[in-house]
Structure 1
Amino acid sequence: MTDYRVSKGEAREDQVTAAIEKVTSQVPSSAYLAAALASMIASLTFKASKKDHAALFVGQWAAPFLLMGIYNKLVKLHGSDATAGGAPLQS
Structure 2
Amino acid sequence: METMFKTQDKREGKVAKAIEEQTSKLPSDVFLWASIGAMTAAAILQIARQKHMSLFIGQWAAPFLLFGLYNKLVKQRGHDSMDKE
- TM-score, length-scaled by structure 2: 0.87
Q: Which region of structure 1 is more displaced relative to structure 2, 41-50 or 6-15? A: 6-15
1:89: which partner in 2? none
Cα offset, 1:83, TM superposition: 1.8
Moved more, 10-19 or 67-76: 10-19
Using CA pairs below 8 Å that are at least 6 residues apart, which structure has the higher relative contact order?
2
1:79 aligns with 2:84: no
User: What corresponds to 1:66 in structure 2?
Assistant: 65
Compared with structure 1, are the counterparts of its residues 39 and 8 closer, same or farther at alpha carbon in structure 2 (3 Å cutoff)? farther
The question of whether the paired residues in 2 share the 8 Å contact of 1:32 and 1:69 is answered with yes
Question: What is the aligned length?
Answer: 84
Tell me how far 1:80 sits from its aligned partner: 2.1
RMSD across aligned positions (CA)? 2.3
1:36-75 equivalence runs, <5 A: 36-75=35-74
With over 3 angstroms needed to count, the CA separation of the structure-2 counterparts of 1:12 and 1:45, relative to structure 1, is same
Mark the CA change 1:8 to 1:74 in structure 2 (over 3 Å): closer, same or farther.
farther
Distance, in Å, in 1 between the alignment partners of 2:53 and 2:31 is: 21
Find the residue that maps to 2:81 and give its secondary structure. coil
Gaps of 5+ in 1: 86-91
Quote the Cα distance in structure 2 between the aligned partners of 1:9 and 1:34: 39
Q: Distance in 2 between matches of 1:8 and 1:38?
A: 45
Q: Percent identity?
A: 43
